[in-house]
Amino acid sequence: MHLTASFRKVDSVVVVYLKGKILFGNEVETISRQVFALAASSRNVVLELSNLTDMCSGDLGSLWLQYMQAQASGWHIRISGVPSHIQQLIEGARIESVFEIHPTEEEAIAAFQAGNSALVADSSPAA
């Protein structure tokens, strides 16, 4: 099964549900474009990975690059539901400190709502 994504908005947070297998290529960039278009006004995103079945280290590198570019552009991203085999990849690459990972989607959303990171109400530049 190739990668599919579905989305839902919870207050000012867009939750992205990734399902299937990330195959090295354009999938990460395609999903990123969809997320950026959908969440442009809030810039608060939870990537929910519990239904992600497979990913290789190259795919992890693509995800890491998109994550870093998004954060540099003022996006706030949390990751939830990381399967153990993906967690092992993250730890093996020694980049677990880069991602803000939460056990569940609800905890990731709550972290935004609790103000553990700046919530962005809209994409207007600060005065």
Domain with 23 in it: 4-113
- Per the structure block, which two tokens stand in for 82? 């990381």
The pTM for the full model equals: 0.79
Question: Would 44 be classed as within a structural domain?
Answer: yes
List pLDDT tens digits, range 4-22: 888 898 988 989 898 888 7
Question: Would 11 be classed as within a structural domain?
Answer: yes
Supply the CATH number for residue 58's domain.
3.30.750.24
| pLDDT grade for 46, boundaries at 50, 70 and 90 | very high
| pLDDT grade for 89, boundaries at 50, 70 and 90 | confident
Mean per-residue pLDDT over the chain, rounded = 79
What total of structural domains would you count in the chain? Answer: 1
Question: Would 119 be classed as within a structural domain?
Answer: no
Question: Would 125 be classed as within a structural domain?
Answer: no
List pLDDT tens digits, range 92-113: 887 777 788 899 999 999 998 8
Buried b (16+ CB within 10 A) or exposed e, 45-58: bbbbbeebeebeee
Task: Annotate 74-119 with three-state secondary structure.
Answer: CCEEEEECCCHHHHHHHHHCCCCCCCCEECCHHHHHHHHHCCCCCC
Cα gap 25→29, rounded to integer Å:
8
Question: Would 120 be classed as within a structural domain?
Answer: no
Question: Would 126 be classed as within a structural domain?
Answer: no
Question: Would 124 be classed as within a structural domain?
Answer: no
